[in-house]
Structure 1
Amino acid sequence: MVKILVAYATEHGSTREVAQKIGEALETKDLDVDVQDVRGVKDLSSYNAAIVGAPIIAFKFLEPAKEFVEGNKDALSKIPVAYFSLGMLMKRNTPFRRKLFMKWLKVVTEHVEPCDIGLFGGKTDKEDCRDWEKITAWAEGLAEKFGS
């Protein structure tokens, strides 16, 4: 069975919820999934693929996720990797906003090139712009790439 790591960094919990939704979607495709905070991941040797996610806060990919990719680039380079990120700027998914997110994601894509990137709306205390159907569809597409 294919084993997938969904590793995330979160500031207020929203990214954890997205990571859990991604994990649930992958499990429906008969994949073995571990969803973990990046700070708790110690060994990548048992995984066939990885998904790493973090929000964009103050125009930056959250630091613990960046450090995770940098610190594990050798292991991550040997397996398929996808990134996901969320932020309120992606409330409206336009080419300009995608371009900005891709620029901010270079801090990880320059270390490990992904097979896919998912960009999603974020959440604040006043507004939730996460599109759960889009998140689920993206994860289900990854299941095919990862060998479901």
Structure 2
Amino acid sequence: MRAAILLILPALLVLSCNSSEKRTDTIAMSSETETIIAQKDKLKESMERGAAIYMDFCMSCHLPDGKGVPKAYPPLANSDYLKNKQTESIKAIKYGKSGKIVVNSVTYNNMMASLGLTNKEVADVMNYINNSWGNSYGEMLTVEEVSKIEP
């Protein structure tokens, strides 16, 4: 009997050590999960602000569904230009745009006036556009990133 206890006791110690390691891993994962949730919440808040800006400044040309007006105002929904030229898209919102651009194999040659938005408003509207109408173009754009974009 005593021999059986001596065999079981080390096994219990090993199992208890392993279970505490698992708890540490769970705590670390929980912290990572909290960070991811916080980032998603920030993106959601930015997109909500961006939606309001879009309705005020962009919707009349690019329409509520982001499809634009054929041959006049380019689409933002499923736009290859937006996806492949994020910096140029930010510049257009920040400083305006004139001249030819090609979006989804269609040439547009119109003018977009500078909207007078702050860097935060530009980031918010870009986050909204980048994550609406089937678009999913990367990570959340920050105010710091927008502020570094020059004409």
Q: TM-score, normalised by structure 2?
A: 0.26
Question: Larger RCO: Structure 1 or Structure 2 (Cα < 8 Å, ≥ 6 residues apart)?
Answer: 1
Larger Rg: 2
Between Structure 1 and Structure 2, which shows a larger proportion of strand residues?
A: 1
Between Structure 1 and Structure 2, which shows a larger proportion of helix residues?
A: 2
Q: TM-score, normalised by structure 1?
A: 0.26
